[in-house]
Amino acid sequence: MTQINNKALFDLAVQAMNKAYVPYSNFVVGAAIQTVTGELYSGCNVENASYPEGTCAEAGAIASMVRDGQTQIDSIYVIGKGEQLVTPCGGCRQRIREFSTPSTMIHICGPEGIRKSMTMEELLPFSFGPDNLK
Ligand code: THU
């Protein structure tokens, strides 16, 4: 376990995780973002009786950030309770990437703290982003 380097962000991710709506998977996930300007946002997974309509915790946090006019992620904490790492799904890697630089930090956590930290470049190498549209 790595030392938590941003307790406010970790705590926010925990609070979000504890609000997850997961009647189908029972797999709670929370995400918390700190922007480069220091603002904090969070989200939880929200499932749906029509299963594919469920949304991931990261998507909720990003929507909240963009709603507030922020588009640059400095770091993101993702937390779950499972034994394995709750690494962002493929779709969420791309969602995070849209608002990241190669050095944006992704911290994968369990209730006890950070389990693994990685950069955006490590999480999604050779990614397609806004610059690829030029
Ligand atoms: N989930 C997330 O919220 N984020 C991820 O990156 C991985 C998966 C959620 C979706 C679903 O509600 C539950 O975890 C099980 O897949």
**Is the Cβ atom of 46 under 6 angstroms away from ligand 1?**
no
* Residue tagged 């925990």 (tokens): 14
Report which of 109, 106, 127, 126 is spatially closest to residue 118, judged by C-alpha positions. 106
Residue ranges per structural domain of the chain: 7-127
CA of 29 to the centre of ligand 1 (A): 6
Q: What Å distances lie between residue 8 and 4, 114, 132, CA to CA?
A: 10, 13, 34
Per the rule left: phi > 0, alpha: psi between -120 and 50, beta: everything else, 113 is left
Ligand 1: nearest atom to the Cα of 44: 3
Q: Which residue among 39, 47, 53, 58 is the active-site one? A: 58
The rounded percent of the chain whose pLDDT value lies above 70 is 99
Per the CATH hierarchy, to which homologous superfamily does domain 7-127 belong? Cytidine Deaminase, domain 2 (3.40.140.10)
Ligand 1 pocket test: pick from 33, 42, 62, 89 the residue with the most ligand atoms within 8 Å of its Cβ: 89
**Is the Cβ atom of 21 under 6 angstroms away from ligand 1?**
no
How many degrees, rounded to 5, is the angle at CA 40 between CA 68 and CA 71?
45
The string of pLDDT tens digits covering residues 74-124 is 999 999 999 999 999 999 999 999 999 999 999 999 999 999 999 999 999
SS3 31: strand
Q: Region 42-69: what's the mean pLDDT?
A: 98
